Amino acid sequence: MKLLIDIGNTSLKWALYQDGEIGPMRSARHFEALPIDVIASWEQIARVSKVLVASVGPQGVFEAVIAAARACWNCPVVRIETGVQAHGVRIAYAEPSRLGVDRFLALVAAHSLPTPAAAANGSGHRADTAAAILIVDVGTAITFDGLLADGTHLGGQILPGIATLRSSLLQRTQLPSHQTQDHPGIWGQDTGPAIAGASLQAPVAVAERLVHRLEQQTGVPPRLILTGGDAERIATLFDTPLEQHPDLVLRGLARFD
List Cα–Cα distances, 96 to 87, 93, 106, 121, 173, in angstroms: 15, 6, 15, 37, 39
Query: Per the annotation, does 210 bind a ligand?
Result: no
CB of 252 within 8 A of CB of 108?
Answer: yes
Please indicate if the annotation marks 83 as binding a ligand.
no
Would the annotation count 137 as a binding residue?
yes
State the pairing for strand pair 11-18/2-7. antiparallel
Active site residue 102: yes
| Nearest C-alpha neighbor of 146 from the set 95, 216, 57, 59 | 216
The verdict on whether residue 103 carries a ligand-binding annotation is yes
7 is in an annotated binding site: yes
173 labeled part of a ligand binding site: no
Question: Is 17 marked as binding a ligand?
Answer: no
SS3 content of the chain, % helix, strand, coil (to 5): 40, 25, 35
Instruction: Report the alpha-carbon distance of residue 118 to residue 113 in Å, rounded.
Output: 10
Pair 127, 115: CB distance under 8 Å: yes
Catalytically annotated residue among 37, 102, 145, 247: 102
User: Do the annotations mark residue 9 as ligand-binding?
Assistant: yes
Write out the binding residues for ATP: 6-13, 140
Q: Catalogue the active-site residues.
A: 102
Write out the binding residues for K(+): 137
Write out the binding residues for substrate: 93, 100-103, 191
